[in-house]
Amino acid sequence: MKGYISTIVFLSLAMITSLAMADENGFSSTDEDQIIHPEENQYRPPKDARIDTENIEFGLYGGQLLIEDFGSSPVYGARLSYRANSVFFLESRYGRASAGTTSFERLSGNIRLLTAKEREFRYYDISLGADLFPGESFIYGRALNTAYYLIAGLGGTDFAGDTQFTVNYGAGWRILPTDWLELYIETRDQMMDRNILGQKQSTHNLSFTGGIAIFF
């Protein structure tokens, strides 16, 4: 029995001596010496993107307007938009172009259906738009916010000596190089009735434009 007790005492002393030597040589299991620190693996929430809070947008645009029966003409104008939220926006627009000659005028020689002033094509409208499929495009290594959008509205068109009620609808694509600058391209159809030869006619007038806008 004394032999067993001596053995146990001897092993206990040896274990205590080993632990003491390990602590002196820097092998203690303190928090500072742990290989993996749990606090370093804690979840860190992502930072919010820095986006301007301005929701009023002013822009200029230009392109081509295909006036039915009168060919294609340069068109230019301005627009003012209000963004209600990240999806919907309200837009007011003004534009103008100068109509060319019809095929009838070209074939008849000297006959002119409209005067130079009556060929001025001026329109103004209010439209509701909605951004679809917002995302990002990578250009020269930079991620830029982009979105496709649909738009439709009502307005009026001054043409051929008369003002006609006009319905417009279209689609476009926008890109934001910065949080205050926007570039966009769009196509739009302006539908209206027209009476030039004494017969009422529904017409479609397609525009293809590009523009630049700023937020403020």
Domain boundaries, the chain: 2-41, 56-215
What is the distance between the alpha carbons of residues 206 and 28, in angstroms, rounded to a whole number? 80
User: What SS3 class is residue 193?
Assistant: strand
pLDDT at 46: 45
pLDDT confidence tier of residue 7, bands split at 50, 70 and 90: low
Topology classification of domain 56-215: Porin (2.40.160)
Q: Is the pLDDT reported for residue 130 higher than 90?
A: yes
Secondary structure of the chain: what % helix, strand, coil (to 5)? 15, 55, 30
Distances (CA, A) of 118 to 94, 110, 111, 113, 158: 18, 17, 15, 9, 9
User: What SS3 class is residue 202?
Assistant: strand
pLDDT confidence tier of residue 141, bands split at 50, 70 and 90: confident
pLDDT at 49: 39
pLDDT by residue (tens digit) across 184-213? 999 999 999 998 877 788 999 999 999 999
Q: Provide mean pLDDT across the span 179-183.
A: 93
pLDDT by residue (tens digit) across 22-61? 555 554 444 445 555 555 555 555 444 344 567 999 999 9
Q: What is the mean pLDDT of the chain?
A: 82
pLDDT confidence tier of residue 167, bands split at 50, 70 and 90: very high
pLDDT confidence tier of residue 214, bands split at 50, 70 and 90: very high
Q: Which helix (H) or strand (E) holds 91?
A: strand 88-98
What is the distance between the alpha carbons of residues 48 and 65, in angstroms, rounded to a whole number? 42
Which of 9-13, 146-150, 198-202 is the least confident region?
9-13
Q: Which residues pair with 98 in a beta bridge?
A: 120
pLDDT by residue (tens digit) across 72-124? 999 999 999 999 998 999 999 999 999 998 877 777 777 778 888 999 999 99
pTM, two decimals, is 0.73
Picking from 160, 214, 157, 159, the residue whose alpha carbon sits closest to that of residue 188 is 157
Give the number of residues written for the chain.
Answer: 216
pLDDT at 87: 93
Q: Provide mean pLDDT across the span 146-158.
A: 97
pLDDT at 51: 44
